Amino acid sequence: MAVEIKSKRDIEKMRATCRLAASVLDHIAPHVVPGVTTGELDKICHEYIVGHGAYPSPLNYKGFPRSICTSINEVICHGIPGDRVLNAGDILNIDITTTLDGYFGDCSDMFIVGGSTTPEAQQLVDVTRESLWLGIAEVGPTKRIGDIGAAIYEFAHGRHGYGVVEAFCGHGIGREFHMPPQVSHVGKRGNGLRMKPGMTFTIEPMINLGTPHCDILADGWTAVTKDGKWSAQVEHTILVTEHGFEVLTLRDASWRPSWARAS
């Protein structure tokens, strides 16, 4: 399948679903507290999404049983909400995808349960957020997809020594949940597909304190670090524009570096 170039109408539809997906993260933030279960967070998000006339895209996607993904500590991605209770100091990724008017919007963010965690875990989250934005900065017409992964890997692994997960990657998104192109978070500069205005895709680096390798639990979904060390992930949906990029899932509470805030 060729990479889809969005029309002006498509882009407006993408903006709408991405705004909704991002707003779910704002809505759920006050509920991420010690003692709550991931299943309770799932229920709150589900009701919010449906209440806004949309569908929670993960629900029943290839058999996934819940409306959001909740990945705690050593869970890299695709954690299934359930009875697990959040404890102070846990780090939690909440991954949201909405289907609104036939278009998908996808984003995730990290939450520090109770407001503080260990310095080691806090640095992991900070580096993961910075690496996402370094990847985003490489987006633009005529640039290459490989530049995105190169920027992330150079910073997270080359500078900080963290494991950058290769088993999962960003992806094209639009009228389908997952479309071309694949956006690896480990890349080589000057390699890969040349970006064009109208492309939309996610960038969603998964950064580990230790090895980049993972295991999949018996549920067939939950990916955990092979060495049990903690992992962090952040994600935005990006539009390639005529002059650079637009972060479709940006919200007021989104973390971004000073250079991005000023732009």
State yes or no: 160 annotated in a binding site: no
204 is in an annotated binding site: yes
CA distance 181 to 172: 5
Is 95 annotated as contributing to ligand binding?
Answer: yes
Could you give the CA distance from residue 33 to residue 49 in angstroms, rounded to a whole number?
Answer: 21
Residues with Cβ within 8 Å of residue 56, at least 6 apart in sequence: 45, 46, 49, 50, 67, 68, 96, 97, 98, 99
Determine if residue 171 is labeled as part of a ligand binding site: yes
- By C-alpha distance, which of 73, 84, 16 is closest to 232? 73
Query: Which residues sit in the known binding site for substrate?
Result: 78, 178
Query: Which residues sit in the known binding site for a divalent metal cation?
Result: 95, 106, 171, 204, 235
Query: Which residues sit in the known binding site?
Result: 78, 95, 106, 171, 178, 204, 235
